[in-house]
Amino acid sequence: MATEVKIPAMGESISSGILAAWHVKNGDYVQKDQVLYELETDKITSEGTAEVGGVITIQVEADEEVDVGQIIASIDESAVDTPAEKIANMPEADYAVVEAVDSIVTTDASVEAKADPVDTLSPAARKAAEETGVDTVNISGSGKDGRVMKSDIIDASKNSSSEETATSPILSPNPAKFVASVKPSPLQGGREIRKKMSPLRRKIAERLVAATQEAAMLTTFNEVDMSAVIKLRKENQDRFVERHGLKLGFMSFFTKAVTHALQAIPEVNARIEGNEVVTQQFYDIGVAVGTEKGLMVPVLRDCDQKGFAEIEGDIISYAKAARDGKIQMSDLEGGVFTISNGGIYGSMLSTPIINYPQPAILGLHNITERAVVINGEIVARPMMYLALSYDHRLIDGKEAVTFLVKVKEAIEDPARLLFGI
């Protein structure tokens, strides 16, 4: 009995994805709930697990685009638990036993051909092919149902090594089969590497282009003295860690400062839908997280009701889930505003692109000691540039500048966050 492995439904807006990687090999014995593959969509990366235990037959190669509901493999539940890894580590004498078992014909070949597809390589042959580099595509096997055995691989390897040309088929000692030569080694040091865009990268590209085409974007800048926040963190870090089990970072200060500014300037906490302006009365802030697969923006919910420890915990949890490819679609939806911290990569200044249909995004940058004038004296202070990009169709310059000043004031005097002033 074979169980089909299908691409599961992942939400109404997702109809396809890229089969990014297989975590098992064709012919492996897999356990129930074992991770089989990794699937990339335009929103999330997820893993697929085995519903049953048995030998897997892979039907779709990695890097192929697949649709929801498509069959990508089958698992033979009646197969014996003899994984390829176990066979590969057997002594040479034991290979013969496995090959002999593979060779026994117990039923009519035509009947079996109409049942489930059979792997054309025995486990021992697969191991030998990996070691010798023999291309098995055109090898006619001597085993049951034309299955390629270890002896076939050895014959192919001997014959291919004696030929002058690496592209012509070679007649093996067994006249019933033809074997292909060793694959030529890939070209090293090429000038280009061509690779398909991942669904996530394509979606990021589409949204960025949409934001620049559909919104009237403008960016306003300011700078903030980080001295007060740095001092506050230093004085309370040990007690904070002892109490909450995590460190107090800069992002929680900016999240609370943005929430405070949104409450003070409600025009920034809105969005355009058709000919209507929708003013939001909740404060779900997106925090951009860089991953190997691309940029993701998990959303911190109800930031007006959370303390610093809860916000820090949410940021750490979402960042780990995003980088491990375990973020959920619901974690990425519904934000009203986004914070992007390019400073962790060393960015001095940038003009971030809004996360449309959100109306604005705050860009943070690196902290550097700069000479500033305070009370008529030149002093060195840890300074950070802030950049607020916003949709000018919805937000006027006055509101944008006032919003950014509110953020600046809250960071330079964190007590404002406690009293809401």
**Inter-axis angle of helices 227-244 and 250-264, to 10 degrees?**
110
To the query of whether residue 396 is one of the catalytic residues in this protein, the response is yes
Backbone angles phi, psi at 65, to 5 degrees: -80, 135
Q: What is the dihedral of CA 19, 23, 24, 30, to 10 degrees?
A: -110
DSSP state of 351: -
Secondary structure tally for the chain: helices H, strands E:
11, 21
Q: Residue 254 in 3-state DSSP?
A: helix
Active-site pick, 67, 145, 396, 413: 396
Taking the C-alpha atoms of residue 358 and residue 213, their distance in angstroms, rounded to an integer, is 14
**What tokens does 144 get?**
């049951």
> Residue 408 and residue 406: Cα distance in Å, rounded?
5
Distance CA 375, CA 353 (A): 36
DSSP-derived 3-state class of residue 148: strand
Residue ranges of alpha helices (H) inside 32-142 are 84-88, 92-103, 109-114, 123-132
Residue 194 burial (CB count, 10 A): 5
Q: Indicate the residue type of 287.
A: V
**CB hemisphere CA count around 136 (13 angstroms):** 24
303 closest CA partner among 255, 344, 264, 336? 255
Provide the residue count of the chain. Answer: 421
Cα separation values, 165 from 156, 157, 162, 178, 373, Å: 14, 14, 9, 15, 77
CA 31/CA 39 separation, integer angstroms: 19
- Quick one: CA dihedral 12, 16, 20, 25, positive or negative? positive
State the Cα–Cα distance between residues 350 and 225, nearest whole angstrom.
Answer: 18
Provide the annotated active-site residues: 392, 396
